[in-house]
């Protein structure tokens, strides 16, 4: 696997991603995202539907006024364009499956700055 920064402008604060596969026709893809330390991922959305499966660590996702804590083995589905944010209280790893091209759209310009721990 080749790991790269999810958001290179965040430097060492950025989570790492490893792309596991991309369908050449639909652009559907699967990737791993790892967080080496505690962090907050600001409000954002994706053009494709996505399913998140927690592999290691605990994550808190907030969307539509709901806050869910997900432990290893649990998953959450987000329909396309649903605004959400996440917290990784410690290091962790999760698998994301998108049914179309992967993108990352920040809800506001401030989110483009490195997250604060």
Question: pLDDT-based confidence at 109, cuts 50/70/90?
Answer: low
Question: pLDDT-based confidence at 28, cuts 50/70/90?
Answer: very high
Q: Domain coordinates of the chain in residue numbers?
A: 4-112
Strand 75-78 to 50-56 pairing:
antiparallel
Question: pLDDT-based confidence at 100, cuts 50/70/90?
Answer: very high
Please tell me whether residue 108 adopts helix, strand or coil conformation: coil
Name the CATH superfamily housing domain 4-112.
Answer: Jelly Rolls (2.60.120.10)
Cβ neighbourhood burial of 101 (10 Å; 0-12, 13-18, 19+) = middle
Model confidence, pTM: 0.87
Kindly report, residue by residue over 9-25, the tens digit of the pLDDT. Answer: 888 888 999 999 999 99
């Amino acid at each position: 696997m080749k790991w790269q920064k999810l958001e290179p402008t965040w430097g060492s604060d950025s989570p790492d991603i490893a792309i596991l596969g991309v369908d050449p026709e639909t652009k559907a893809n699967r990737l791993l995202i790892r967080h080496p330390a505690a962090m907050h991922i600001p409000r954002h959305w994706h053009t494709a539907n996505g399913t998140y499966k927690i592999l290691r660590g605990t994550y808190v996702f907030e969307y539509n006024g709901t806050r869910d804590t997900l432990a290893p083995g649990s998953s959450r589905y987000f329909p396309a364009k649903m605004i959400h944010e996440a917290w990784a209280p410690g290091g962790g790893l999760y698998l994301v499956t998108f049914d179309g091209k992967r993108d990352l759209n920040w809800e506001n310009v401030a989110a483009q700055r490195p997250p604060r721990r």
